[in-house]
Structure 1
Amino acid sequence: MKTKQGISISLLTISLIGLSSLSACHKQTAEQAEKVTQATMSKTNIIYPPTAKGTVVDTYFGTDVADPYRWLEDDRSSETEAWVKIQNEVTQRFLKTIPYRDQIAKKIKNIINYERVSAPFKEGEYTYFYKNDGLQNQSVVYRQKDAGEAEVFIDPNKFSEDGTVSLAGMSFSEDGSKVAYMTSTGGSDWREVFVMDTTSFEFLSETLVDVKFSGLSWYKNEGFYYSSYDKPDGSELSEKTDQHKLYYHQVGTPQSTDIKVFGHSDAEKHRYIGAQVSEDNRYLFVSAANSTSGNRAYIKDLSASEAEWITVKESIESDVYMLSSMGDDIFLVTNENAPNSKIVKANIAKPDVSEWQDLIPETDNVLSPSTAGGYIFAEYMVDAVSKVYQYSLTGEKIREIALPGVGAAGSFGGKTNESTTYYTFANYVTPTSIYKLDIASGETLLFNQPEIDFDGTEYLSKQVFYTSKDGTKVPMIITYHKDTQLDGQNPTILYGYGGFNISLTPRFSSVTAAWLQLGGIYAVPNIRGGGEYGKAWHKAGTQLQKQNVFDDFIAAAEYLIDNKYTSSDFLALQGGSNGGLLVGAVMTQRPDLAKVALPAVGVLDMLRYHTFTAGAGWAYDYGTSEQSEEMFKYLRNYSPVHAVKPGVAYPATLITTADHDDRVVPAHSFKFAATLQSAQAGELPTLIRIETDAGHGAGTPISKTIEQYADIYGFTLFNMGVTKIAN
């Protein structure tokens, strides 16, 4: 690829409203935004702040592709900062005119304001759990000894006044006397790590910095393994990071002396490296990957002096991770020659793929196992809902776990010496409850059920199967109030993802519950690209088959319309990250399909996604524009930024992103918004909402969540013509 640029981006005047300087731009922002809002509200002659166009042209396989908004990729420039400021002001002025916006915020706040408790877990002498009283920006970590009173252990709400610094991970030493925990500032993937004595609460090491995409895995009580990249020379939020490295930190020593363990050779780079120490502290298992699918695996016997790395799996065509170990045996989960995954046993003397023995063979359903009390709990997805079986470490089936209903169960887990485990259960109308399971008998007791201002018995949540363009049967769960009339006039959100082997299983969300209370229908199809039916389902939505994902989503919308759940005038398309790409692609391919489009933190420039942060690791799903001419043409054809056509009436669009998103950089959304605004020929608004001090989603304060969804639902209903909502 070659790039041609006629003038320096730094010399481009922002010219958002025809001004000659940024200071003048700031002075007249409010007045201009008011004019824009008035024009938008009238739904005639919509005026958007004009975005300066550069002259950057990239050449791919002899084809020139203009990139006029390349300058918006510079997240550190004053020009980009000014653009963000005026776009936000225009958007907020429009949103403030929606008459029931505050009413929606109040409804969301009422539903989300309930006590939420996690499944408890034991570390040392204490049992720990997370709890949120309701409206706390971040959940608090509590602990209690035996039947004693629970005490606050870590309160992330004290990390910052506005709740934008969150707890991003926590790991305890073998005896529970020490804890290492990570924090994220403003939602960034870059973390800091604090090491603390759990009795005195004294910090035992200097703060570790510049840690990214990492777990924390302790070796005994001495130290822990973590992963990171070298800090980039340019913007830490957008600069490419492509060589992950594994380190060992000895408690009490400076980070500068941390031992380099794996991934420091330039001869072979890996973008994602993870480490896991076995519960008995004997094995160090390392996963090394270049993409989000497929990994190499290595193991070291820490009980042997001068131990060398032993290769477990060299090929990157499949996935494998360590589930547990017992003596010389290692139990692995893999989709090697088993698209739905299986559990195998390997011996440390010969752990290579050729020596693996099936312990729990592959079935027709996708497997996601965990361990507790010396047993395996095998969770299977059956048409995206859970079934769970208990097995011994010899592969003997003990029992099926009786779940409380049809939905998603998870979080089974615990140490080998524990006699009980806890699991969560939820679906779209059942708030997440915690169940206590006696491992020996299989007896299940309700441990915690939240009290919430939402009566799930008033709603239906049913699964249907529809036919996609190529004849593939696709499941979808549709949820709505039982008194809903199927007359084609129900405000409906169609939510999708379709990528990276990620499965959308039934789960409860307070903001989704608020949508249902507003009279809306919520539909979630399990489209290809996800993992609901294993590796084959995932691969059917990757690279040159990515169009299957969009076709599945379009077919889901048509099913809802044909069966009178809704109509195009009352349909909204929603998705985030890869789901943001889904929405962007479908709304540009079928602008007539829905009234509203809600792409969130989306991957929207498919020709350049791999040049930012860890984006190159997504190539397994997407391919890259430099891979081949065929791949370039395929990507350009559906890339939302490049698929927008002038003179087309697009749906009312509210693009949402965040200024600290270093997973899918906000430049994707900036460029898509600028392109749409310049091309929109219809009367519906095209706006972008850019959250400050927030990232890709994890750790977002409750206060920001309430504000964001009040804006999203208000925008959606207003553009569907809804004039008032029920109290």
Structure 2
Amino acid sequence: MDARFGGQAIGDRFFMFTNYEAPNGKIVEVDLKNPEMKNWRTIVPETKATLNGMSLAGGRIFASYLEDVVTRIRMFDDKGKQLREITFPTLGSASGINGRWKEDEAFYSFSSYGQLATIYRYQVSTGKQEVWARINVPVRSEEIETKQIFYTSKDGTRIPMFLVYKKGLKLDGNRPTLLYGYGGFNSSLTPGFSATAAFLAEQGGVYAVANLRGGGEYGEAWHKAGMFERKQNVFDDFIAASEWLIKNKYTNPSRLAISGGSNGGLLVGAALTQRPDLYQAVICSYPLLDMLRYQRFLVARFWVPEYGSAEDPKQFEYIRRYSPYHNVKKGTKYPAVMFITGDADTRVDPLHARKMAALLQASTASDRPILLHYDTKAGHSGGTPVNKQIEDLTDSMSFLMWQLGMLNN
């Protein structure tokens, strides 16, 4: 049976989350004395929002949903009647509720782009909640605002985007702005603490995250809309986000940077070759850039079900149209670019970044730098020590601040 199941038992009653015959998820009650499927009773039916899970505490059922890319936790009684929804301090992501069925207190963790993970104590009977524990770091979360907007992509599709900035930001069309995206492999970019976002906000800049097609924010249909011959939708969504930021006076092309890694490196590689006029700077990390040959190196053949392969003549045509390496045009004024890769990358072969850096250096007509940040001992699969992570982030942010004119602030 191709479905997910999970739940908790209270006496002879088993409350179960499942996506069986309900792609977005539902909660059913199973009588353990008569557990046959025909006796299952749906108590929380499927909705348009995706049900990620459920838990039991204080005699109540808590259902955790992903709705427009943010967490919603709704509380139901044991018959399925909704009683209330938990309120959060800002847009963000929360863990499921944890507690005991016969006790009135429960706990959950919440984070957002400007707020580190914070544990809250929740009183089930009244809805009262308070901070139980938080990490003590020098980030002024109360001064950082997280906003969600929706914009229209090239084909009319409605795309969500998060904006993070310091409260009271003046929209003068000149804010240094970093736009981040991924758009692939059914991966959802949900809000969570970002040191980069907090730093840019404190410096008077804007951090933006576009929830592009190809991700999992709205289920498998959203994912499929950014696969194979529809991959250009992902790039169109990202370019439209850039244009929205400019049109709505957050920034302008001389103060707009983009960043992405792995599949996101392909994304920003496509954006810089298709619309070099939109960007001042690009950070392109561990990227796939030669899409006509990518499947020949390391583990990339496992990604053919996402992109297709140029070895198939029909797929060759659409891959060739967007492959960043094959769309570099000599004499074009390209933005400043920092490619990041390393010898220890066992997933995306560093040859992509090396050859693209060389080609852009030989082809660009602008005086903006094309750099290759190359590490002989690191890759993109994590595992680097904290001091190395700090060093790498410092290099990236220094590059952005240099290119976006922030060093004089």
Query: Do they superpose with TM above 0.5?
Result: yes
Cα distance, 1:714 vs. partner? Answer: 1.3
In structure 1, the residue matched to 2:260 is: 575
The corresponding residue for 1:636 is 320
Q: Deviations over 1:58-80 (max 9, x none)?
A: xxxxxxxxxxxxxxxxxxxxxxx
Q: Structure 1 CA distance, aligned partners of 2:402 and 2:45?
A: 52
Of 225, 228, 235, the residue aligned with 1:540 is 225
Distance 1:680-1:363 versus aligned 2 partners, 3 A rule: same
Asked whether the 8 Å contact 1:407–1:425 carries over to 2, the reply is no
For the pair shown, the structure with the greater C-alpha radius of gyration is: 1
Mind listing any 5+ residue stretches in structure 1 that lack a counterpart? 1-311, 314-319
Aligned to 1:498: 183
SS in 2 for 1:592: helix
Query: Could you tell me how far 1:609 is from its partner in structure 2?
Result: 3.4
Judging changes above 3 Å, is the alpha-carbon distance between structure 1 residues 409 and 458 closer, same or farther for their aligned structure 2 residues? closer
How much has 1:619 moved relative to structure 2? 3.4
CA contact (8 A) 2:53 2:63 kept: yes
Q: Does the 8 Å CA contact 1:339/1:535 hold for their aligned counterparts?
A: no
| Distance of aligned partners of 1:451 and 1:630 in 2 relative to their CA distance in 1, 3 Å threshold | same
The answer to whether residue 379 in structure 2 is matched with residue 666 in structure 1 is: no
2:215 is the counterpart of 1:530: yes
1:324 maps onto 2:324 in alignment: no
Contact 1:389 1:397 in 2 (8 A): no
Q: Which of residues 96, 120, 124 is equivalent to 1:412?
A: 96
User: What SS does structure 1 have at the residue aligned with 2:278?
Assistant: coil
Letter in 2 for 1:526: N
Q: Secondary structure at the match of 1:715?
A: helix
Alpha-carbon distance in structure 1 between the residues aligned to 2:298 and 2:4:
25
- Of 324, 330, 338, which aligns to 1:646? 330
- Who is 1:561 aligned against? 246
CA distance in 1, matches of 2:41, 2:295: 38
- Aligned equivalent of 2:87: 403
Match for 2:148 among 463, 468, 475? 463
Q: Name 2:379's counterpart in structure 1.
A: 695
What amino acid maps onto 1:491 in structure 2?
P
Report the Cα distance in structure 1 between the residues aligned to 2:215 and 2:24, rounded to whole angstroms: 12
Asked whether the equivalents of residues 13 and 29 of structure 2 are also in contact (C-alpha less than 8 Å), the reply is no
For 2:65, the equivalent position in structure 1 comes to 380
Q: Which residue of 2 aligns with 1:684?
A: 368
Shift of residue 429 of structure 1?
Answer: 2.7
| Residue 451 of structure 1 pairs with residue 147 of structure 2 | no
- Helix, strand or coil at the partner of 1:470: coil
Q: For residue 549 of structure 1, what is the aligned residue in structure 2?
A: 234
Shift, 1:450, TM fit:
3.3
Shift of 1:588: 0.8
Preserved CA contact (<8 Å) 2:76 2:84: no
Q: Report the alpha carbon displacement of residue 554 of structure 1 after superposing the two structures with TM.
A: 0.6
CA distance in 1 between counterparts of 2:17 and 2:325 reads: 42
Q: Distance in 2 between matches of 1:422 and 1:408?
A: 16
Q: How far apart are 1:595 and its partner, in Å?
A: 0.7
Mapping 1:131-210, distance limit 5 Å: none
Q: Which amino acid aligns with 1:629?
A: P
SS in 1 for 2:160: strand
Counterpart check, 1:367 vs 2:60: no
Query: What displacement does 1:401 show?
Result: 4.4
Identity of matched residues, %: 42
How far apart are the structure 1 equivalents of 2:38 and 2:370?
56
Q: Is the 8 A contact 1:378 1:388 kept in 2?
A: yes
Looking at structure 2, the residues matched to 543 and 325 of structure 1 have their Cα atoms a distance apart, in angstroms, of 40
Q: 1:229 maps to what in 2? A: none
Would the aligned equivalents of 1:409 and 1:423 in 2 still touch at CA under 8 Å?
Answer: no
State how far apart, in whole Å, the 1-side matches of 2:380 and 2:37 are: 36
Residue 598 (structure 1) aligned with residue 283 (structure 2): yes
TM-score normalised by structure 1 residue count: 0.50
Measured against aligned partners, the alpha-carbon deviations of 1:553-590 in whole angstroms (never above 9, x if no partner) come to 11111111112211101100111222111111111111
1:288: which partner in 2? Answer: none
Question: Are the aligned partners of 1:407 and 1:505 in contact in 2 as well (CA < 8 Å)?
Answer: no
User: Aligned AA for 1:323?
Assistant: G
**TM-score (norm. length: structure 2):** 0.85
Structure 1 residue 717 corresponds to structure 2 residue 401 = yes
Contact 2:197 2:206 in 1 (8 A): no
Partners of 1:568 and 1:686 in 2: CA distance: 18
1:514 and 2:199 aligned: yes
2:118 alignment partner in structure 1 = 433
Q: Within 2, Cα distance between the matches of 1:701 and 1:372?
A: 38
Structure number with greater CO (CA < 8 Å, separation at least 6) is 1
CA change 1:359–1:607 in 2 (3 A) is: farther
For these two proteins, the number of residue pairs brought into alignment is 403
In 1, are the aligned partners of 2:173 and 2:249 still within 8 Å (CA)? yes
1:706 aligns with 2:390: yes
The separation in 1 between residues aligned to 2:116 and 2:163, in whole angstroms, is 17
Higher deviation after alignment, 404-413 or 597-606: 404-413
Q: Is the CA contact (8 Å cut-off) linking 1:339 and 1:536 kept in structure 2?
A: no
1:322 positional shift: 3.5
Counterpart residue number, 2:166:
481
- C-alpha displacement at 1:430, in angstroms? 2.6
- Do 2:165 and 2:200's aligned partners in 1 also have CA atoms closer than 8 Å? no
How far apart, in 2, do the equivalents of 1:536 and 1:330 lie?
28
Q: Given that residues 385 and 406 in structure 1 are in contact (C-alpha distance below 8 angstroms), is that contact kept between their aligned partners in structure 2?
A: no
Structure 2, unaligned stretches of length 5 or more?
A: none
Give the alignment of 1:302-381 within 5 angstroms.
312-313=1-2, 320-324=3-7, 331=16, 333-334=18-19, 338-342=22-26, 360-371=44-55, 377-381=62-66
